[in-house]
Amino acid sequence: MYYFSHFLLVISFIVKLSSSSSIPANFIFGDSLVDVGNNNYIASLSKADFAPNGIDFGNPTGRFTNGRTIVDILGQEIGLSGFTPPYLAPTTNGAASLQGVNYASGGGGILNHTGQIFGGRINLDAQLDNFANTRQAIISTIGEDAAIKLFQNALFSIAIGSNDFINNYLTPVISKVEQHLVSPESFVAAMISRFRTQLMRLKSMGARKIIVANVGPIGCIPYQRDINPSAQNQCVALPNQLAQLFNAQLRSLVQQLNAINLDGSKLIYADVYHIVDDIIRNYTSYGFENSNSACCHSAGRFGGLIPCGPTSKVCEDRSKYVFWDPFHPTDAANSVIAMRLMHGGATDIWPINLSELLKN
Residues that are catalytic = 32, 325, 328
Burial-class residue 7 by CB neighbours within 10 Å (0-12, 13-18, 19+). exposed
Classify residue 86 as left (phi > 0), alpha (psi -120 to 50) or beta: beta
Q: How many CB atoms lie within 10 A of CB 329?
A: 26
CA 133 – CA 230 distance, rounded (Å): 48
Q: How far apart are CA 334 and CA 337, in angstroms?
A: 5
Is residue 148 within a helix (H) or strand (E), and if so which, with residue range? helix 144-153
CB burial of residue 90 (10 Å; 0-12, 13-18, 19+): exposed
Q: Under the phi-then-psi rule, with left for phi > 0, alpha for psi from -120 to 50, and beta for the rest, what region is 79?
A: left
Distance separating alpha carbons of residues 286 and 274, to the nearest angstrom: 15
| DSSP 8-state assignment for residue 109 | -
